[in-house]
Amino acid sequence: KKIVKLPEKRLYEMGFKKGEKLFYINRVYKGNQKPIIMLENFLPLSILKDFDQRFVGTEPLNAYLEKEYQIKAKLSHRVTKAVNLSQEHAEILGERKHAASIQSTNKVYDQFNRLIDYGQSHTTSNYYFQALISHDELAHYYLETQPKEQKDID
């Protein structure tokens, strides 16, 4: 967690106003003690006064904003795509540089249509594959696609 001041071009690309100071949060979620997804959030300090001093970091972000600032997340615009991990993201996730990843970028707007959160997540290269196919599904596929003679030999 830290306050960041990004270049004007980056602020514009993210949707924030010129000169905006942002609070940056980076969280890594693990499964079986291994990183599976990294979440990065940028929050505008012009809207969230003293956020950098008040937010502990363990509470769910949207619930915290509603409770402490009476700000409700009303609209979310998400774009998901396949990417290759940067060196920085790869190191955080324990991956090799350029490993395949699912990236999700999310802009969250409040009840006053202000951008209150720019978030981006990256997964480990095998995260989605583990969730998509099980051992039983693989065995069933193998048995259904092999010629009868091959199945009898195995």
Predicted local distance difference test score (pLDDT) of residue 52: 85
pLDDT confidence bin for 70, thresholds 50/70/90: very high
Confidence check: pLDDT of 75 > 70: yes
Over range 73-100, report the average pLDDT. 92
Q: Between 71 and 145, where is the model more confident?
A: 71
Q: Span 37-42, mean pLDDT?
A: 94
| pTM reported for the whole predicted model | 0.77
Ordered DSSP codes for the chain: -EEE---HHHHHHHTPPTT--EEEEEEEEEETTEEEEEEEEEEETTTSTTHHHH--SSS-HHHHHHHHH---EEEEEEEEEEEE--HHHHHHHT--TT-EEEEEEEEEEETTS-EEEEEEEEE-TTHHHHHH--HHHHHHHHHHHS-HHHHHH-
66-83 average pLDDT score: 92
